[in-house]
Amino acid sequence: MPRPVDDAPPPVPGPAETRAALRLLAAACAVGVALWLGWATALVGPHSPLLRWGRSGSTAWVLHRAELLATDPGLRAHPGGQVVWAVGSSITREAFDEDAVNAALEAQGSPYRLRKLGQNRGAAALTVPVLARLPVQPGDMVIHNVALENFRADWMEWTRLPMTTAGQLLSPGALWAVDDRALPHKLEQAAAQPPAFWAWHDEVMGGLSAWGLGLFFYFKAPKPAKAGDLLRFHTHLRSRRMVPAQLEAERARYRLTAAELDLSPTQLHQAGIAQLRADCAAKGAQLVLLDIPTSAWDQWAWQDASARAAWDALREAWPELVVAPQLPGDHFYDRRHPNRLGRAILSDWLVDFLAHPGPGDRSRPPEAEALPFPWPAAAEDGAEDVEEG
Amino acid sequence: MLYNSKAFLAFLAVVLLVYYPLPQRAKLWFLLACSAAFYGFWDPRLLGLLALSTAVDFVAGRQIDRAPPEARRSRTAWLWASLAVNLGMLGFFKYHDFFVLEFSVLLGALGLNVDPEGYLLRLVLPAGISFYTFQTMAYTIDIWRGHLRHEPDPLKFALYVVFFPQLVAGPVERATHLLPQFSRPFGLSPQMVRQGIFLILLGFVKKVVFADRLALAIAPLYDIDALGRLPTSVEAASAQLLFTTQIYVDFSSYSDIAIGLGLLLGYHIRPNFNLPFVVPSIPERWRRWHISMSQWFRDYIFIPLGGSRHGALRTQLNILFLMFLSGLWHGASRNFVVWGLLNGLAMLSHRWLERPLGALRGLFGAHPLSRVAYFYLCCLFTYASIASINIFFRTPDWSTALAYAGQIFGAGLGDYARALSSLDLSKNTVLDDDLQLGFLYTGLIFLAHEGERYLQLGAKITAGGWAWWLSCAGLLWLVVAFGISGPQFIYFQF
């Protein structure tokens, strides 16, 4: 039989040595915490200079744009000086061409100009903090797009929203209060102290890495990060992200029934809408809850009858509701996001809506218009990676 | 609870603040409670399995120890009870579905088509079960062999089983080494503090700066459905080479943190890795890699089977069987079984080629420069061999493994030569940014590894003074500035 493992541990240190060791440990921990907090407070946060090179998430870019708009002297330089704040999710981002809308508004002599801030997963509770940073004035209009899946009972868990994104927008208390997260997740988030360090760490690190790679690998200063499509919109006609093999996984995740919804006032985004209402009222701005209907295929194949009924009931409860036109199936690059064909229609509609406000048509597209997947190939396609929003 | 999580940082702060002032016995109770909280953080139900293994082995160990030496049957029966419960738990949670699927394939080959779907349980594998069951089985086996007396204090035994630094992914500590330490009075030396802090920080750098980045860089190349195509030969080869780096820094980082935490709490955990990244042969690699598990298999499987005492053929069969079991221990799938067998074949090949390799060594050994060149040539060959064998470790399923092997070995050398000749790092023509950075990280890890081999940097740093303070400050800054939140430790899945 093999001999036992007999490498005995070293002898036990004596009391004097132990005291010296504990003093050393205390000193090392104190220095370590000081170094960490020093780094965290000095260089990691929403105003870190390194964000100029490392900013990469859509939420970070939207917050940055909000800061810039807050101090933009030309914001209200146009006649009338009113601003339409389209603040919402990626659907808002994809639905409107800000430059085209503003050109049309200027041609019409409209008092409005559009400023668009659409972030991935930008439902109501995540829109409230963005709106708080904007210089909304009396007479302005706030347009927030609404979508049924934002009223899932398990929205936070289901979206797998990165806690860095959530931390950039919501306070630790607000995150703790989100009911649908399991206790270990809540404890994990509560332990993220200081909050700004954890929320902005990855993007500050991106800036630091850009400088490190630039200086030591490419021997030149890095270029500042660009928002690209994160503030503007994607230009492809069809998303190549989903392939048939992924369809079943997508269906399991996204197919919606009423049983998964929580339409009570305490649901995260129901409470968010109530807060939006209060904030707009306090600022004297008009709130519009805009339903940009998804594709017929999304409505008929991915939402069952109970979900559609719940959506109709919810929308009827909102006095601020406006419904945008139903787009044809090939005017989306996936189930829900308008492509450039859809964007052109919605941009024209928005210009017309601002001149002639109306509630919009709530009727559902016929089921026969649901284009089944795989969709027909687009004539021109400059496909890119897309995030659901 | 994961080491690389915010909750763990808060947990560690509480542990260190509360632990030191406590009296000796209270320290043990506190560690037991912390270990239970650590393990049950995500799912408290798993504590039941841990409690079962602990209780069964405590009783079995006591009964084996109390029985007189002549009561061989009784002693052996209690040993079998311990093995049955531990292996039963492991078999049920880890291997049930694997054997159902393989059995249905066998029946299909015999013409009896059975749909296995109705028999699959799809159980979640409890974290660390492969580790703590082996640790407790070693305890009862050592008592049965007469190498160890039963620990009469259930608190100390329970703490030996659930000691949180090494509970989930090793090192697999022998009772002869760890258990007696719980009976010693608490003592800490400045050297233990320096070494502990250095190892913890080094482990975090390896994990959150290197391993997680490598993991994220190569992961897309293994998801062929999402990729929409097979990776190119260069991509597949690069991914495998980088995975070999990743698994080293990932697994060794866990052991570093475990050993460092043990030191800060006043306990010595044995090293689990001894510079295994740059090695001239696969047998040498296994002597230096996951040492605690290798020694477990050697002492409790290989030697009882006869080891190398019954001739060359029996020895080789024992080695092959051992590596087969090692593969099976790593995972319940055909991939891991093949991985283990390939490792076994590699070890046997080294035996078969001992003479010609010895002759080559002699030839190159004439001059120091040629000796060093030959050494690193062997290391490069071993690294590539390990990367090749690891195709079956990393790929998610059998068909992907075969596809990967086809891509890597099916391409002619001309394909690789053409790719390398068109390589332009500034224009990123062959590999994407992440893969290029992965090779940069591999180079840095290689330099650190060889620095430790030739200069014993670790010992020099932890000897104290400014070198220690500056090194730790530098490591801390790397973690704080460049750490990313990535996948869990690889060996958590075993």
Give me the DSSP letters along B168-193: TT-----HHHHGGGGGSPP---HHHH
Distance (Å) from the C-alpha of residue B243 to the closest C-alpha of chain A?
22
Q: How far apart are CA A47 and CA A49, in angstroms?
A: 6
Residue burial B242-272, b: 16+ Cβ < 10 Å; e: rest: bbbbbbbbbbbbbbbbbbbbbbbbbbbbbeb
The pLDDT value given to residue A379: 54
For B469, nearest residue in chain A (alpha carbons): A28
A316-361 pLDDT, tens digit each: 999 999 999 999 988 998 889 999 999 999 999 999 999 999 999 9
Which of B186, B210, B245 marks a domain boundary?
A: B186
Residues 125-154, chain B, touching A (beta carbon < 8 A): 142, 145, 147-148
Number of domains chain B is built from: 2
Categorize the per-residue pLDDT at A237 as very low, low, confident or very high, splitting at 50, 70 and 90. Answer: confident
Asked if the Cβ–Cβ distance from B7 to A187 is below 8 Å, we say yes
* Interatomic CA distance for residues B488 and A269, integer angstroms: 31
- Does residue B171 have a cis bond before it (omega within 30 degrees)? yes
Instruction: Specify whether B164 is located in the same domain as B286.
Output: no
Locate the chain A residue with the closest alpha carbon to B298: A2
Question: Using CB atoms and an 8 Å cut-off, which of residues 46-75 of chain B contact chain A?
Answer: none
The alpha carbon of residue B5 is apart from the nearest alpha carbon of chain A, in Å, by: 7
On whether the CB atoms of residues A172 and A199 are closer than 8 A, the answer is no
Cβ burial, residue B130 (10 Å; 0-12/13-18/19+): buried
Q: In chain A, which residues have their Cβ closer than 8 Å to the Cβ of B5?
A: 188, 191
Which residues are paired to A256 by β-bridges? A303
Contact B59, B152 (CB under 8 A): no
Q: Comparing B142-146, B147-151, B354-358, B477-481, which segment has the lowest mean pLDDT?
A: B354-358
> Domain range spanning residue B399?
192-493
Distance CA A284, CA B424 (A): 58
Residues of chain A contacting B187 with CB distance shorter than 8 Å: 12-15, 17-18
Tell me the mean pLDDT in the region B46-62: 93
In order, the DSSP letters of B45-104 are THHHHHHHHHHHHHHHHHHHHHS-TT-HHHHHHHHHHHHHHHHHHHIIIIIHHHHHHHHH
- Answer whether A191 sits within 8 Å of B10, measured CB to CB: yes
Span of A144-148, B33-37, B129-133 with lowest mean pLDDT: B129-133
pLDDT for residue B466: 94
Which of B186, B209, B243 is the last residue before a domain boundary? B186
Distance from CA of A105 to the nearest CA of B (A): 43
CA–CA separation, A40 vs A6, rounded Å? 46
Q: Which pLDDT value is given to residue A110? A: 96
- Residue positions counted in chain A: 389
What pLDDT is recorded for position A388?
47
For residue B304, tell me if it sits in a domain. Answer: yes
| Interface contact A2-B299, CB threshold 8 A | yes
Contacts of B426 in chain A (CB under 8 A): 218
> Nearest CB to B184: which of A12, A31, A201?
A12
- pLDDT for B488: 67
What average pLDDT does chain B have? 90
Question: What is the pLDDT at residue A119?
Answer: 96
Q: Which of B96, B74, B83, B269 is nearest to B172 (CA)?
A: B269
A245 part of contact set with chain B, CB < 8 Å: yes
Q: How far apart are CA A145 and CA A280, in angstroms?
A: 15
Distance set, CA B464 to CA A25, B266, B278, B325, B455 (Å): 13, 18, 28, 43, 16
CB contact under 8 A, A4 and B147: yes
Mean pLDDT confidence for B124-141 = 91
Whole-model pTM?
0.90
Claim to verify: residue B259 and residue B378 sit in the same structural domain = yes
Residue B268 catalytic?
Answer: no
Candidates A262, A367, A242, A368; CA nearest to A304 is: A367
Tell whether the model's pLDDT for residue A272 goes beyond 70. Answer: yes
User: In whole angstroms, what is the distance from residue B174 CA to residue B176 CA?
Assistant: 5
Listed in order, strand segments (DSSP E) in chain A are: 82-88, 112-118, 141-145, 286-291, 321-323
pLDDT, tens digit, 9 for 90 and up, residues A129-140: 999 999 999 999
At A385 the pLDDT is: 44
CB contact under 8 A, A21 and B7: no
pLDDT at B413 over 90: no
**Could you give the CA distance from residue B20 to residue B425 in angstroms, rounded to a whole number?**
52
Complex ipTM value:
0.90
**What is the pLDDT confidence band of residue B280, given thresholds at 50, 70 and 90?**
very high
Residue A184 contacts B where some CB pair is shorter than 8 Å? yes
Q: Which residue in B150, B268, B330, B367 is the catalytic one?
A: B330
pLDDT tens sequence across B436-481: 889 989 999 999 999 999 999 999 999 989 999 999 999 999 999 9
Question: In this complex, how many residue pairs, one in chain A and one in chain B, have their CB atoms less than 8 Å apart?
Answer: 120
**Which residues make beta-bridge pairs with A269?**
none
Q: Among the ranges A52-61, B127-136, B168-177, which has the highest mean pLDDT value? A: A52-61
B86 and B223 housed in the same domain: no
Q: Which of A6, A19, A23, A24 to mutate to test the interface with B (most CBs of B within 10 A)?
A: A24
CA distance B2 to A304: 39
Residue B1 lies in a domain: no
Are residues B418 and B386 part of one domain?
A: yes
Q: Is B201 helix (H, G, I), strand (E, B) or coil?
A: helix
Strand A286-291 relative to strand A321-323: parallel, antiparallel, unpaired?
A: parallel
Asked which of B144, B171, B186 is the last residue of a domain, the reply is B186
Q: What three-state secondary structure class fits A338?
A: strand
pLDDT(B111) > 50: yes
Looking at residue B293, the DSSP 8-state letter turns out to be: H
pLDDT digits (tens, 9 = 90+) for B376-385: 999 999 999 9
Q: Are B36 and B139 in a shared domain?
A: yes
In chain A, what are the domain boundaries?
51-369
**At residue B202, does pLDDT exceed 70?**
yes
Tens of pLDDT, residues A191-234:
998 999 999 999 999 999 999 888 887 888 999 999 989 999 99
